[in-house]
Amino acid sequence: MTRLWNEPADFADEMVDGFARANGRWVRKVYGGVSRATASADPEVAVVIGGGSGHYPAFAGLVGPGLAHGAAMGNLFASPSAHQVESVARASHRGRGVLLSYGNYAGDVLHFTEAQETLRADGIDCRSVAVIDDIFSAAPDEIEKRRGIAGDLTVFKVAGAAASLGYDLDGVERVAQHANRRTRSMGVAFTGCTMPGAAEPLFSVPEGRMAIGLGIHGEPGLAETAIPSANGLAELFVERLLDDAEIPEGARKSGARVVPILNGLGSVKSEELFVVFSRIAELAEAEGLTLVDPQVGEFCTSFDMAGVSLTLFWLDDELERLWLAPADTPAFRTGSFDAAGLSAIADDGEQAAERSVPAASEESRDAAQRIAALLGAVRDVIDEHADELGRIDAIAGDGDHGIGMKRGARAAAEEASAVVGLGAGARTVLASAADAWADRAGGTSGALWGVILRTLATHVTDDARVSPEQLGAGLSAASDAVMAYGKAQVGDKTLVDALVPFAGKLAEGLAGGSDLPTAWEAAAKAATKAAEDTADLMPGKGRARSHGEKALGVPDPGAVSLALIATTVGSKLAQS
């Protein structure tokens, strides 16, 4: 279990601060993560990697010459926000464009894509490569749906080496995609990991059993078997990885060159890994493969999870040259890197700007105060239920929903209170709360709550009263915006399953002549019923998608939290 922490919701922030202080030779802390502390003599394409915290040495430990230029780090097992990614990318950019690379998870795709679009709009050429190495998360004919696990390292290393050698952005993107297609991984676990502050692991495996096909965010395995011997595990790894239908043509022919990466996920000892690797090497050589630069250790972890993954990276001449190129980072070093051409990057610090808000009418300022009070009530109810939301999420997800919602709701309430104190109107307080929620929460839920509040803000103004009709229209628009943004539909077992009936019932009640409290109460009941009904659905989107029937019988945490918020707001409206 995770033993050393202060406030669980602050764990990731405090970890990043400590990491940067301990590794100032390589990195400097910037908003959203870390960036290189030094720059090469000639400008390079900036390779910016990232994802949730809890996976060290991924992602911050891979920042340094010859590898990544920056790492955006979100909350525990949650993607960084678009603002965080953008901030790290801007801090790392040296004029030749940016390549973003991350594991293929819904929240990461949403946030990194939004950051990419913002950077492009500002004239910075930016590309993305989502890593898809996990063979158990989707079939070979749906390879683009596969998630990224420890194979992130091969894509990041090849891209960073190409940038260091002077490749342009087209070239860096090309070799990163090439490495992505030639990387295959699978993992197993003997016990789940425990989040800071949690009393129990995110999942458990029966004594003497092993979960196969786990995710690095604490997602449970997709299958289960008796724990084999070390040799048996090696044989399982090699057999499954070599049987994958998308292995490059000729890969099993004599002389094919492969980098094996045997990765400990948190609490499996190095000595155990070496025993397993001995048999892996024998099996690979028996297949006629030549092992190049074997890596055995921790490269992408999941807190204290007792588990192991094996990655096979199939080389060609260019990929081998890039893999073996020198790199010097806190956690991954290879070759002899010449630091003579490096120069320190000045840390200008972050200057706090004096805040101001648009002028607002008295009616709108009064509405803004009520909105801030409602967001305070949302914060309180999420704080109260965060542990239960995390428990639900852990059954077929990654267990981060409670912490993410707590961070987002707290940030939104704090920001709303701050701008109300400056005299903000309704539109400004909603827009400011939206940005704060999305930025602090990260993950898919953070992005979607940012969309909800931001869309609602566009339907009210800073110079007039807020009407029930505006709220109804805003929430209907928010429902459509969330579906367009996250690509989920009703029935996919997501927040959408509660949001759509809520917005529809609210609009129906208001159109029928009900006052706002009455219409809202009926809509909240519809959302609660819809959230409960998600227990009978199979997931079509998000991290639970690959777990299929494991998600049956438990409601979707995003739908549950939305219904909880709707009910809380409704009770406050009834009291006003």
The answer to whether 474 and 431 have CB atoms below 8 angstroms apart is no
State in Å, rounded, how far the first CA of the chain is from the last one: 45
Which residues lie closer than 8 Å to 126 by C-beta, 6 or more apart?
A: 89, 97, 98, 99, 100, 115, 116, 119, 120
Residue 190 and residue 228 in contact, taking contact as beta carbons nearer than 8 Å: no
Closest by CA position to 475, among listed 554, 394, 569, 412: 569
**Within 325-442, where are the H helices?**
362-396, 401-421, 426-441
What gap in Å lies between CA 54 and CA 418, rounded to an integer?
Answer: 31
Q: Cα–chain-centroid distance for residue 318?
A: 30
Please tell me which residue in 69, 83, 217, 385 is annotated as part of the active site. Answer: 217
Longest dimension (CA), the chain: 79
- Give the number of other Cβ atoms within 10 Å of residue 150's Cβ: 31
> Considering only CA atoms, which of 20, 76, 15 is closest in space to residue 51?
76
Q: How many CA atoms lie within 13 A of 338 on its CB side?
A: 5
3-state SS assignment for residue 107: helix
Q: What share of the chain is helix, strand, coil (3-state, %, to 5)?
A: 50, 15, 35
Integer Cα distance of 501 and 478 in angstroms: 12
Catalytic annotation present for 111: no
Amino acid, res. 268? V
* Other CB atoms within 10 Å distance of the CB of residue 481: 18
What is the 8-class DSSP label of residue 544? Answer: G
**3 state SS for 65-121:** CCCECEEEEEEECCCCCHHHHHHHHHHHCCCCCEEEEEECCHHHHHHHHHHHHHHHH
Residue 520 tokens, joined? 């809202």
Q: What is the DSSP string of 297-328?
A: E-SS--TTBEEEEEEEEE--HHHHHHHHS-EE
Catalytic residue positions, numbered? 217
